[in-house]
Amino acid sequence: MIQELKIAFHSLVAHRRKTWAIIASVTLGICALILVGGYYEYNYWGLKQSLIRSQYAHLQLYPRDYLTDRDVSPFLHEIESPHDLIANLENKDIVLTAAPRSRAMAVVNGVPVEIWGVDPDREASIFTFTTSKRGMGLTLEDIASCQMSPVLAQEIGVSLNDSVSVIGVREDSMVNAVDLKVQSLISSYAEDFDRMVLIVPQSVFYDLFGVDSVHEIAVLLKNDSHVYELRDQFKTELESAGWDLKITVWFEQATYFRQVVNYYQGFYRIILAIVAIIVFFATGTTMSLSLMERTREFGTYLSMGTRRSTVVLRIFNEALMAGFIGLIAGAILSATIAWIINASGGIYMPPAPGMSSSINVYIRYSVQAGIFCLLSALAVPVAAVIIPARNIMRQSIVDLLNRGGR
């Protein structure tokens, strides 16, 4: 096998003009796949981080039937002993923080909003993937302050340090109102979230709705490499400790993220198909011309007793080696271009539908793109020479020798 690879390499060198054309087509195709894959990978990563680090965290713990009843009876369910539960969770090495949240609908200056009652210190460690931060962050001691996004502030018609009137329906069905100061403007990248959520300290939530209850605990992990396994592990441990809770993973609630991934994966498959077709025809055409010029060489091999299968194998080895060289060259070229893009500050992208902020997109390594590149570089050149090799090898030795002499 090593001897056959040496023969293939020497053949590529001997026909270097055609070889460079093949390698160039594979190189450009691989470079395109890696860069496009890295572009999409950063978009997926950035959207994922924005949702985790501004809304969901990695895991969410709810009372068993809370998600079913919260729209009609938001105060029907609550987490029992939430402070003990938080202490239990934060004792685990994998957990960075566990943040309690209380939720209910209210009206602010005539605009319906969802009020989040939070522990500001714990929430601050989750809410890190944000933009447009202005004003002072909330603290537990703020008894008449709130935080919202610039998008919501514009819709309500207020600015930083203005006062807003928040009206809510208490657990006893009484209407209550509180006046709050807009102490901080901070936004995530999700437009729906920014248009809807107003964040207040837990004490303000309790004062407005008259309930001292926690409806959700958001858990931020050190990493999410085994988030589903950790979810099942936490569920088993907490059930044995007496908590009957529903535990969800951020991905299960991030409907918009799943839609975006499915949508752009379709585009990526189209680009992959286009690149594969271009490489296929470029390689096939070049190899076909190269093989036609070498018919006397093949006829000579056969006249000396070399098997046709051996000659075909050598042709495939040449295509495979050219594809491998193109893979290495494409990886180097794409790494260079990616470094230039990342070092220059990325590619500016205006806000996408459903997003509230523009972003600069960088190039990240994509496992999926790497697999596609490997398959394309090794499989496409080999597939492209099947028909030319078949046509040549079906000819007689005399025809090969005569054609090569013309």
- Final residue of a domain: which of 199, 223, 247? 223
Same domain, 30 and 67: no
pTM: 0.75
Same domain membership, residue 163 and residue 265: no
* Residue 116 pLDDT: 93
> What tens digit of pLDDT does each residue of 129-143 get?
777 678 888 888 888
Residue 251 inside a domain? The answer is: no
- 229 assigned to some structural domain: no
Q: Are residues 71 and 29 in the same domain?
A: no
353 & 209 share domain: no
What was the pLDDT predicted at 199? 93
Q: How many CB atoms lie within 10 A of CB 345?
A: 9
Please indicate, yes or no, if residue 238 is contained in any of the structural domains: no
Same domain for 266 and 311, yes or no, is: yes
CB burial class (10 A; 0-12, 13-18, 19+) of residue 80?
Answer: middle
Instruction: Determine whether 309 is exposed, middle or buried from the number of CB atoms within 10 Å of its CB (0-12, 13-18, 19+).
Output: exposed
Q: Is the per-residue pLDDT at 405 higher than 50?
A: no
- In a domain, residue 248? The reply is no
- Residue 112: band (very low, low, confident or very high) from pLDDT cuts 50, 70, 90: very high
- 405: exposed, middle or buried (Cβ count in 10 Å: 0-12, 13-18, 19+): exposed
3-state secondary structure the chain: CHHHHHHHHHHHHHCHHHHHHHHHHHHHHHHHHHHHHHHHHHHHHHHHHHHHHHHHCCEEEEECCHHHHCCCCCCCCCCCCHHHHHHHHHCCCCEEEEEEEEEEEEEECCEEEEEEEECHHHHHHHCCCCEEEEECCCCCCCCCEEEECHHHHHHHCCCCCCEEEEEEECCCCCEEEEEEEEEEEEECCEHHHHHHEEEEEHHHHHHHHCCCCCCEEEEEECCCCCHHHHHHHHHHHHHHCCCCEEEEEHHHHCHHHHHHHHHHHHHHHHHHHHHHHHHHHHHHHHHHHHHHHCHHHHHHHHHCCCCHHHHHHHHHHHHHHHHHHHHHHHHHHHHHHHHHHHHCCCEEECCCCCECCCEEECCCCCHHHHHHHHHHHHHHHHHHCHHHHHHHHCCCHHHHHHHHHC
Is residue 354 over pLDDT 60? no
Neighbours of 357 (CB within 10 A): 20
Say yes or no: 285 and 324 in one domain. yes
Cβ atoms of residues 112 and 195 within 8 Å: no
Average pLDDT over residues 346-369: 74
Read off the tokens for 141. 């001691």
Q: Is the pLDDT of residue 406 over 50?
A: no
Residue type, 62: Y
Domain presence at residue 143:
yes
How many domains does the structure of the chain reveal? 2
> Is 321 or 205 the better-scoring residue by pLDDT?
205
Q: Which residues pair with 199 in a beta bridge?
A: 116, 147
154-182 tens-digit pLDDT: 999 999 999 999 999 988 888 999 999 99
* Boundary-marking domain end, from 178, 203, 223: 223
| Domain containing residue 158 | 59-223
The number of CA neighbours under 13 Å toward the Cβ of 268 is: 22
- Among 180, 205, 223, which residue terminates a domain? 223
Residues 273, 392, single domain; the answer is yes
Is 363 a member of any domain? yes
pLDDT attached to residue 36: 85
Whether 112 maps to a domain, the answer reads yes
The answer to whether residues 264 and 352 belong to one domain is yes
Same domain, 202 and 320: no
Same domain, 97 and 158: yes
The per-residue pLDDT for range 175-217, each reduced to its tens digit, is: 999 999 999 898 877 778 888 999 999 999 999 998 888 999 9
Same domain assignment for residues 75 and 216: yes
Structure tokens at 81: 């002993």
Q: What angle do CA 345, 349, 355 make, to 5 degrees?
A: 125
CA dihedral (23, 24, 30, 31) in degrees, to 10, reads 140
Report the candidate in 78, 65, 74 with the shortest Cα–Cα distance to residue 215: 78
pLDDT in tens, 43-78: 888 888 888 888 889 999 999 888 888 878 888 889
Amino acid at 130: T
If asked whether residues 80 and 177 sit together in one domain, one would say: yes
Angle at 374 between CA 262 and CA 13, to 5 degrees: 150
Is 231 a member of any domain?
no
